[in-house]
Structure 1
Amino acid sequence: MSDADTAARPTIMTERRTTVIGALLTAIGPVSMAVYTPAMPELVRAFGTTESAIKLSLSLYFGGFALAQLLAGPVSDAYGRKKASIAFLMIYVLGSLICAMAIDVNWILAGRLIQGIGASVGVTVARAAVRDQFVGGQAARIMNMIGIILAIGPALGPTIGGLALSAFGWQSIFLLLIAFGAIALLTCIFALKETAIPDRSRLQPVTLVKTYAGLITDLRFLFPSLILGGSIGALYAQGTMLPFVLIDVVGLSPTQFGLGMLAQTGSYLTGSITLRMISGRISGPAAVAIGIGFCGTGGFLMLLSVHLLDPNFLSIMVPVGICTFGIAFLTPHVVTSGLAAFPKVAGSASALMGFIQMGGGFVGGLVAATFANPLTSFGTIIPIMEFTAVAAYLANRFISRRQ
C-alpha cells in the first residue's frame, strides 16, 4: 500500500478538538447504558410491569444502536459528518424526551429504541472523523486518548444515575440523558467542522450493498474487525454474564457487584494510560501484539480458573482485568489500521467495524443464554471469543506479510 493510498486529508480540526469531540460522541452509547441501569428496578415498580419487560428495553437499545450504525455510516459519507451527527443526535434527544414523559412501559421501550438509533452515530462519526484527518501513529494516539476519556464516563455513570434516582426519581435519569444529548448536539453545531467530502451516491442502495460487500470481503478490513469483534465483543458479552456469576454464584450483593466492576474499568483505564506513556517507544504493531497477548492469556486463565478453581471474586475478575488491559492496548492501532485503506468510505467502514464488534457481543450473549449454568457459559464463551481475536490477529499478520 502506498503512502498516497493512506494519506489523510489536510487537518481541518486540531488534534485536541478532534479528540474531545470524538470522546464526547463515543461516550453517548455507553453512558446511556450506565446511567440508565440503576433505574431498572424502580421502573419495574413505577409502571407495575415485569423485570423481563424492563430488560427488553436494554435489548431494544442495543439492537437499535447496532443496526442503525449501518445507516449512520453511509449517511455521514453522503451528507457529511456534521449533518449526520446533528440529525442522529436530534433523534437521540427525542428518544430521551419520550422516556422522560412515559406514561407506561411501552413508551419506555419505544424511547429506548429511538435512543439507541440516535446514539449509533457517536462511535461511527468519531472514528471516521479521525480517519478523515489523521493516519498512523497520530490517529492511534487520538484513539488512545478517546479511550482514556471514555473509560471515565461509564465508570461514573451508575453512581451519577443512582444519586439522581434517589434524590429526584426515575424521570431524572432521562433528564440527565437529555442534557447530555443536548450538550453533544450543541457541540456538533458550533464546534464540529466538516471533515469529509460528501458524496450523495453513497446512499444509493446498489452502491451501499457494493460498499459493504467490498469491505467485508477485503481482508485488510475483515481481520482487524474480527480482532475487535472477538476482544471487545467479549467485553459486551460478559456484561450479560457477570451479574449472574458474581451475584448468584460468588455471592456478592448488588452494591458489591457495582463496586467490583470498577476493576474492569480500572484495568481499561490503566491499559490506556500505560499505552500513552510508552507509545513513543513502541510501534503500533508492537502495541497490538502486546494487547493480543494479554487477551489470549486472560482467556486461557479464565478457562482454567472457572473449570479448576472454586469461584471467587479474584478468580473471576483477575482474568477479566487482564483481557481488558489488553483491549486498551490493541484497540487504537487496530481501528486505525482497519480504516486506513478506505478514506472515501470511512463512515461506512467505521459503521461496519462497530457493527461487527457489537455483533460479536450480541452473538456471544445469545449463545451464553443457552447454558444452564452462568459460570460455565462465562468460562466457555468468553475464552472462545478471546481466542477468536488471537486467531484473527495471526491471520492478519500473515496477510500483511504476504502483501
Structure 2
Amino acid sequence: MTIPAPLKIRALLILALLAAFPPLSTDMYLPALPTMVEAWQTTEAIINLTLVGFFISFSLALLFYGPLSDRYGRKPVLLGGISLYVLSCLVCAQAQSPTALIVGRILQGMGAASAATLSLAMTKDYFVGAERERALAHMAVIVSLAPMLAPVLGGIMLTFADWSAIFLAQMVLGVVAICGVWRLKEPAPATTRTLAQVMGGYLRLMCNLRFMTQCTLIALGMTPLFCFIGGSSFIFVTYFGLSEQEYSYFFAFNSAALMLGFWICGRLLRRMPGFRIILFGYAGILVSSAVLALCSGLGPWGMAGPMACLTLSLGMTRPPSSNFLLEQVKQDAGSAASLIMFTYFVGGATAMWFIALPWDNKILTLALVGVVTSALVLVLLPRLGRAPQE
C-alpha cells in the first residue's frame, strides 16, 4: 500500500515510542535494585529474577503477537498488548514482596512484547528497501534516549519517592502509546487467510535453519550489552561503592554511546552497504571487549570507557542487522519480526541470568562474553551469505 509522507513521519515517532518499551521497562528501575535487595532482605539473584522474568515472558509473548497481527491486523493486536502493559504496571507498583514483583514483571513483559515486535513489523509495512534501513537508524537514535534518560529519571524519582512511583510513570507512558496507536491508520489490515494458514507459514520460517542461524548469531552479538544491563548496578553500586544516583549517570553515559553509535550508523549508511557496517561494528566490539578485560581493575572509568566503546560499536550494527534479517523474508512480516525479537531477548534473558551468577570478577566475565560472541559473528555471519529467503 502507498503511505503518504506525513503519515510516515507520524508513524516513525509512534514506532520509536513503542520500540522504547523494553528499555523503559527495565532501565528505569535499575537504580532501585540494590535498595530492593536490602528492603526485602533477599539476594541479588532473586531480585534479578524481576529482570529475567520480564525478558522470558517478553520473549515467549513475541512468538504470538506477530502471527496474530498478520491475520487480524496490527492495530487491534497492538492495542490489546499495550492495555495489558498498563494494567501490569499497576500490579508492579502495588507489589509487597519479590514474588509479587516478579509476577507483575512477567505480565509487564507479555504486554511490552506487542510494542516491540509490532513496531519492527510495521517498519516493513510503512517503509521499503534503503528507506526502511534509514528509518530504523532514525528510530534507533530516538529510542536510545530511553536507556540514557530512564535510569537518571529513576534515580531522581528515588530521591523523593519509593520505587513504586517508577512503575506508575511507566503506566502513564503506556496510556500515551495507546492514544498514539489509536490515531494511526491500519498498515496491514486483517486478511482472509485463516490463523492456521498464517501459523503454517510461521512454522516454515521457524524451520528455516539458515534464517534462524542468522537470527541467533546477531542475538549472540548483543549479549554483552544485556550483561551490562543485568550486572551494572551491582558493579557500580556494590563493587565500586557508588550511590544509586552516581550509578545512573554512568549508565546514562553508556546509553549516550549507544545513541552515538546509532547516529554514526545513519551517516555511514549513505556511504557503504549495511552488511559491511555490521561486520565493522562487530570488529569494534571485539577490540573493545579485549580492552575492557585489560582494564577490569581500574575503577569505575576503567569499566565505563571501554564499555562505552563496545556499546557504540554495537549501536552501529543494530539498524542494518534488523533490516538484514527483515530482508530475508518476503511476506508475513509480523511472524518474521516475532522470531527476530524472540531470539534477541532470549539471548538477553540468558545473558542477565549468566551475569547474576556469583562470578569473582563480573567485569572480566562481561568482557569475555564480548570477545567470544563478536568473534563468532565475524567468523560465521559472512559464511551464511545474504541471499533473500522465501
For normalisation by structure 2, the TM-score amounts to 0.87
**Structure 1: which 5+ residue stretches go unaligned?**
1-8
What's the secondary structure of 2:95's corresponding residue? coil
What's the secondary structure of 1:324's corresponding residue? helix
1:155 pairs with one of 122, 144, 148:
148
CA displacement at 1:312 relative to structure 2: 3.8
Are residues 1:26 and 2:15 paired?
Answer: no
Whole-Å separation in 1 of the counterparts to 2:58 and 2:259: 24
**Structure 2: which 5+ residue stretches go unaligned?**
none
The RMSD of aligned alpha carbons is: 3.0
Whole-Å separation in 2 of the counterparts to 1:84 and 1:129: 12
Give the number of aligned pairs: 388
Are residues 1:11 and 2:28 paired?
Answer: no
Whole-Å separation in 2 of the counterparts to 1:140 and 1:185: 26
CA displacement at 1:146 relative to structure 2: 0.8
What's the secondary structure of 1:344's corresponding residue? coil
1:320 pairs with one of 277, 300, 307:
307
CA displacement at 1:271 relative to structure 2: 1.9
Match of 1:120 in 2: 113
Q: Are the counterparts in 2 of residues 295 and 322 from structure 1 also a CA contact under 8 Å?
A: no
Whole-Å separation in 2 of the counterparts to 1:377 and 1:326: 19
CA displacement at 1:180 relative to structure 2: 0.6
- Alignment of structure 1 residues 232-243 onto 2, 5 Å: 232-243=222-233
The 3 A distance-change label for structure 1 pair 186 and 67 is same
Whole-Å separation in 1 of the counterparts to 2:307 and 2:174: 31
Q: Are the counterparts in 1 of residues 288 and 309 from structure 2 also a CA contact under 8 Å?
A: no
Are residues 1:383 and 2:371 paired?
Answer: yes
The 3 A distance-change label for structure 1 pair 247 and 100 is closer
- Alignment of structure 1 residues 82-231 onto 2, 5 Å: 82-189=75-182, 191-199=183-191, 201=193, 203-204=195-196, 208=199, 211-217=202-208, 219=210, 221-222=211-212, 224-231=214-221
Q: Are the counterparts in 1 of residues 148 and 254 from structure 2 also a CA contact under 8 Å?
A: no
Greater mean alpha carbon deviation, residues 15-24 or residues 233-242: 233-242
The 3 A distance-change label for structure 1 pair 127 and 215 is same
What's the secondary structure of 2:184's corresponding residue? coil
What's the secondary structure of 2:28's corresponding residue? helix
Whole-Å separation in 1 of the counterparts to 2:246 and 2:301: 13
Greater mean alpha carbon deviation, residues 91-100 or residues 194-203: 194-203
Greater mean alpha carbon deviation, residues 32-41 or residues 359-368: 359-368
The 3 A distance-change label for structure 1 pair 261 and 171 is closer
Q: Percent identity?
A: 24
Whole-Å separation in 2 of the counterparts to 1:363 and 1:100: 26
CA displacement at 1:41 relative to structure 2: 4.3
For normalisation by structure 1, the TM-score amounts to 0.85
CA displacement at 1:184 relative to structure 2: 0.6
The 3 A distance-change label for structure 1 pair 130 and 327 is same
What's the secondary structure of 2:332's corresponding residue? helix
1:355 pairs with one of 318, 326, 342:
342
CA displacement at 1:116 relative to structure 2: 0.7
Match of 1:266 in 2: 256
What's the secondary structure of 1:78's corresponding residue? helix
Q: Are the counterparts in 2 of residues 99 and 111 from structure 1 also a CA contact under 8 Å?
A: yes
The 3 A distance-change label for structure 1 pair 308 and 55 is closer
CA displacement at 1:173 relative to structure 2: 1.6
The 3 A distance-change label for structure 1 pair 367 and 350 is same
